[in-house]
């Protein structure tokens, strides 16, 4: 019998701690080994109880969650799932938490999730986090001048190329690595990262700051042009439609797909229909199976398809599912994906 995943809950709110303990207590695969009201207590409990994964609040007394996360990932790296408030400040802090090494960021009950919804999301996330590859982090250093942006240009032909990227757990840093390496004249690009509403706007801004492409959160109605990349907004599915010689973006409602909204499968299937062999599709690190069926649909219409390899994934779930389906033409380490994708997307 497999031992349950050991969870430490760190939050200054007694009510939130109680809710999380009750939610996690319903899952036989999870065991809450303790709760802590602040990082100082958490530090002692980590040594005593040796948890497999932490849930971490960001706004706490004595030491804020981001400072604690930075110290933890440098000196005692553990999988961390941040529980954040769905506010503009919370979204900026969420992006910083990803940079510092958090496996995932979820919203507190009552912001984006009800308690019942959180139960399912948190259970799946903690399981993925416990299996994640966690590496010690070093203090960030300046990366130099901002990238020179490419100038969007009209292709004026019906065979325009495009690139589609999908990711989940661990995907914020994977997408950072890919987008930082893509040239500014990369064909129009769509990106799906599993992320709550509001967080995606901050993430798009972050990607824009490191990419030679111009990156923005999609609002619907945009034309895909070389040098432009659009991120699916949280809470909406993103689809690509053909309008004459153009690719145009649209947002869709509807239910979650593979427990996600936005879902990679929805976007990839639309890319397969709109672009066929003129597209390149990439599935990056993430839990679950979202994107595997969509990538297969793209491959069947002649698109070039890529899955991230197991060794460089934080969570080898989505790429593994794609590989097992035979959806990936290539399986590549993260550092090689941008070059291969750009070469294929820019091919005449």
Q: Which residues pair with 214 in a beta bridge?
A: 228
Active site residue 270: no
The number of C-alpha atoms within 13 Å of 106 and in the hemisphere containing its C-beta is: 26
pLDDT at 197: 82
Instruction: Report whether 233 contacts 249 (CB < 8 A).
Output: no
Q: Which of 27, 52, 194, 304 is catalytic?
A: 194
d(CA 112, CA 239): 23
| Topology at the third CATH level for domain 5-130 | Rossmann fold (3.40.50)
d(CA 97, CA 91): 10
Active site residue 85: no
Model pTM? Answer: 0.89
Q: Which of 84, 85, 91, 168 is catalytic?
A: 168
Contacts for 151 with CB less than 8 Å, ≥ 6 apart: 184, 227
d(CA 267, CA 254): 13
Contacts for 199 with CB less than 8 Å, ≥ 6 apart: 86, 91, 94, 95, 105, 234
User: Looking at the chain, which residues constitute the CATH 3.40.50.180 domain(s)?
Assistant: 162-345
Residues of the chain with pLDDT under 70: 1, 86-88, 109-116, 137-146, 150-159
Per-residue pLDDT of 145-162, as tens digits, reads 667 776 665 544 444 899
User: Considering only CA atoms, which of 189, 187, 225, 226 is closest in space to residue 207?
Assistant: 189
User: Looking at the chain, which residues constitute the CATH 3.40.50.2300 domain(s)?
Assistant: 5-130
Q: Which of 11, 52, 290, 309 is catalytic?
A: 290
Per-residue pLDDT of 40-57, as tens digits, reads 999 999 999 999 999 999
Active site residue 290: yes
pLDDT at 217: 97
Spell out the CATH class of 162-345: alpha beta
């Amino acid at each position: 019998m497999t031992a349950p995943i050991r969870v430490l809950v760190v939050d200054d709110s007694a009510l939130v701690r109680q809710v999380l303990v009750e939610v996690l207590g319903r899952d036989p695969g999870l065991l809450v080994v303790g709760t802590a009201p602040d990082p100082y207590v958490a530090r002692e409990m980590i040594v005593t109880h040796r948890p497999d994964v932490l849930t971490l609040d960001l706004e706490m007394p004595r030491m804020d969650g981001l400072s604690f996360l930075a110290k933890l990932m440098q000196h005692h790296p553990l999988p961390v799932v941040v529980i954040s408030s769905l506010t503009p400040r919370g979204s900026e802090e969420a992006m910083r938490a990803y940079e510092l090494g958090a496996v995932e960021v979820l919203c507190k009950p009552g912001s984006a999730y009800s308690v019942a919804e959180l139960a399912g999301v948190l259970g799946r996330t903690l399981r993925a986090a416990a299996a994640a590859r966690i590496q010690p982090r070093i203090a960030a250093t300046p990366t130099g001048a901002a990238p020179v942006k490419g100038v969007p240009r009209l292709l004026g032909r019906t065979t325009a190329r495009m690139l589609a990227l999908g990711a989940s757990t661990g995907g914020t840093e994977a997408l950072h690595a890919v987008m930082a390496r893509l040239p500014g004249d990369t064909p129009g690009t769509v990106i799906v990262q599993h992320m709550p509403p509001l967080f995606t706007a901050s993430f798009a801004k972050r990607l824009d700051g490191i990419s030679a492409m111009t990156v923005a959160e999609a609002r619907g109605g945009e034309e895909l042009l070389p040098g432009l990349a659009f991120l699916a907004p949280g809470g909406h599915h993103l689809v690509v439609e053909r309008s004459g010689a153009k690719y145009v973006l649209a947002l869709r409602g509807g239910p979650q797909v593979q427990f996600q909204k936005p879902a990679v499968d929805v976007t990839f299937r639309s890319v397969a229909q709109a672009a066929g062999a003129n597209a390149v599709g990439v599935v990056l690190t993430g839990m679950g199976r979202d994107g595997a069926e969509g990538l297969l649909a793209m491959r069947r219409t002649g698109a070039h398809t890529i899955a991230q390899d197991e060794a460089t994934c934080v969570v080898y779930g989505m790429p593994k599912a794609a590989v097992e389906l035979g959806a990936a033409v290539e399986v590549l380490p993260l550092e090689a994906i941008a070059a291969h994708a750009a070469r294929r997307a820019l091919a005449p």
